[in-house]
Chain A
Amino acid sequence: MLKMAGVSYSYHKNRPIITNLDLEIEAGKITTIAGPNGCGKSTVLKLASRMLIPQTGEIILGDKNLSHMSKRAVAREVSILFQNSQIPDMTALRAVMAARYPYQSSFSGYTKEEKEISECAMELTGCKEFGRKNMAELSGGERQRVFLAMIYNQDTPLILLDEPTTYLDIHVTYEIMELIGSLNKNQKKTIVMVLHDLNLALQYSDSLILMNHGSIFNIHTPGDNCILESIKALFGVEVRNFRDNHNSFYCFAQSADNDIGI
């Protein structure tokens, strides 16, 4: 689906954030990228959505080079949910309808179908009842639902989510994760997300990419036996695994042999 080969990117000279990254995202899967702060996870998503153009290497989406595609063409293939960005100054319904932009010709209005599709997206994500409210009046969880409705409405095969559950309470977190799971299962979308919560990452992903210093540290499927060793090595924490009948739970604690030195 998406392939990065030898990709490098730096915001400032001499301080590369991504160095010589090779990565392949499988279609129809949920892939999670995790890693320490500042390791370049969000940058990978921005590169994959053509928000940033790689300075070396190339990114292939399907069979096309991403840098050669127009912005609008990319927006029909890839959608992205940003981490804590500006709150739109508009009603939820209008924000959701705006996500149809890549399919519209310039300066045209909305058709009746588009309005119906948008309302359907809001229904699926459970934000129909506050469609008329301004985005700024919504709670964090409600707002995130609206952003997900925008993703539904943009209707792209590849979906990128940058920390979709940050700042949400645990109940809403699981609701959002279930919505993301259903996007993958029912709508057959390929999902790549950045998560800090490793429990969620291990529960919901088909593949876990661990990054460090702008390159791949290790790639695992959650069933791997050595996955906990990788996490331990990368983050410098102890990991314990508990099981009940259905699920695995993980517990993280400060590593004994890695004094953080407070």
Chain B
Amino acid sequence: MFTFLKFSVASDKKSLLFLMISFASLIVSALLGLFSGASFIPPSVIFEVLFSGRTQDPVYRIFMTVRLPRVLGALLAGSGLAVSGSILQTVFHNPLASPNIIGVNAGAGLFVLISSILFPGARDLVPFAAFLGALLASVLILLIAMTNRMSQLLLILSGFVINSLFTAGMNAVLILFPDAYVGAGNFLAGGLSGVTTDRLIYPTFGILGGILLSFCCAKELNHLGLGAERASALGMNVPVIRCLAIAIAAALAGGAVSFAGLIGFVGLIIPHGVKLLIGTDNRIVLPGSALLGGMFVILCDLFARTIFIPYELPVGILLSVVGCPFFLYLILKNRNRRDMEC
């Protein structure tokens, strides 16, 4: 996994240090997420119960059915959406392209709801439906972007239109079939409270596979950043790379939405945060986004289930509450740099 780092062009040591610190903070937040919650369970107790194999012990059940799936889910959703956002920003050459803004998440959400009406019992289908929805939305945007050479603003506006279309579809489905999706409110805001290990199996493959594939394409994605015309003049097969990247982004976003619902903002702020910290080289930005995206959602989920004990917030709400001011801060602090320009 780290071979591609060997050739990083500028400031090798700085990038490597950045990734190591990100990795360490991800581990720390994952441990925090596992040990604390409605009640703090000391690590020693958890290890003792786990190794003794007392499956009826409440500590064991809390850990295996609540804490572990939630931390894993948060990690997967955060990493998947953050990497998806990084890819989309590069492919569309647009700093505002992120799965929740251009309708990729909404497309996945609509398909999840539709599949839960058509095949109420088939929960295994949900991740695939989410992937198809995400793919449909991203292909639509790609087609719009390719049919005419449009400005960045127009592209984002088209994204908004597609986003509203799919969101309207979701609302229509929920009004016509109120029982379609148990816990729809949690799904729309984005939450991890219902996550169980068996629901994570397929999304795990999709998200891990997608992240690894995206690492392999990092150099190609960098070249796309030169502009499609220039990349093509260097001999790159731009349409193939674009479609591959879009499919990866859709798998990542679809995988995340299938169990976590419409979590927003991770896909926008994490890639920007990483780029501001370390530059725009995708060989660093993609792994950085994966690590910090996972960390961010794990921490937000931890707060979501602890600040209003015994009540719990959907983590999506907290992500927006934390994400908005952070994002504004990034914009204002860096308004001289063009990263945020549209």
Residues of B within 8 A of A99 (CB): 234
**Cβ–Cβ contact A88 & B233, under 8 A:** no
**Binary interface encoding of chain A residues 125-138 relative to chain B, with 1 for a CB under 8 A from any of its CBs, else 0:** 00000011010110
15 contacts between A and B (CB under 8 A): A51-B232, A71-B232, A75-B235, A76-B235, A82-B230, A87-B227, A89-B93, A91-B280, A95-B226, A107-B217, A109-B4, A109-B6, A110-B9, A134-B280, A134-B338
CB-based contact A110/B225 at 8 Å: no
The interface residues of chain A lying within 8 Å CB-to-CB of B234 are 75, 98-99, 101-102, 154
Chain A contact patch, size range: 35 or more
Contacts A75-B233, A95-B226 given; does A110 touch B7 at CB 8 Å = yes
Q: Is B199 at the interface (CB under 8 A from chain A)? A: no
Residues of A within 8 A of B217 (CB): 107
How long is the Cα–Cα vector from A154 to B217 in the complex, in angstroms? 21
A79 at the A/B interface (Cβ < 8 Å)? yes
Chain A 67-104 near chain B by CB (<8 Å), digits 1 or 0 = 00011111110011010011111110111011101100
Interface residues of A in 31-72 (CB under 8 A from B): 49, 51, 70-72
Whether B9 pairs with A97 at a CB distance below 8 angstroms is: yes
List the B side residues contacting A132 at CB < 8 Å.
10-11
A9 to B271, CA, bound (A): 42
- Interface of A with B (CB < 8 Å)? 49, 51, 70-76, 79-80, 82, 85-91, 93-95, 97-99, 101-102, 106-111, 115, 131-132, 134, 136-137, 154
Determine the chain B residues whose CB is within 8 A of the CB of A108 once the complex forms.
219
Which residues in chain B, 276-302, are within 8 Å of chain A measured between CB atoms? 279-281
B235 touches A74 (CB 8 A): yes
- A91 touching B233 in the complex, CB below 8 Å, given contacts A86-B227, A109-B7, A110-B7: no
Apart from A75-B234, A93-B9, A107-B216, 16 more pairs, CB < 8 Å: A51-B233, A80-B233, A85-B229, A86-B226, A88-B226, A90-B279, A91-B281, A94-B9, A94-B222, A98-B222, A98-B234, A101-B236, A107-B220, A134-B337, A134-B338, A136-B338
Asked if B10 contacts A93 (CB within 8 A), the reply is: yes
Tell me the B1-28 residues at the A interface (CB within 8 Å): 3-4, 6-7, 9-11
Known: A109-B6, A132-B10, A136-B338. A90 touches B225 (CB 8 A): yes
B223 lies within 8 A of chain A by Cβ: yes
- The CA of A160 and the CA of B227, in the complex, are separated in Å by 18
Tell me the minimal C-beta distance from B124 to chain A in angstroms: 33
8 Å CB interface, B85-111 against A:
90, 93
Query: Given A85-B227, A109-B6, A115-B9, are A79 and B233 also a contact pair (CB < 8 Å)?
Result: yes
Q: Which residues of A contact B225 (CB under 8 A)?
A: 88-90
CB distance from B246 to the nearest CB of A (A): 18
How distant is the Cα of A14 from the Cα of B85 in the complex, in angstroms? 42
For the complex of A and B, the 10 pairs showing the least CB-CB separation, nearest first, are: A109-B7, A75-B235, A86-B227, A72-B235, A136-B338, A101-B234, A102-B235, A88-B226, A71-B235, A110-B7
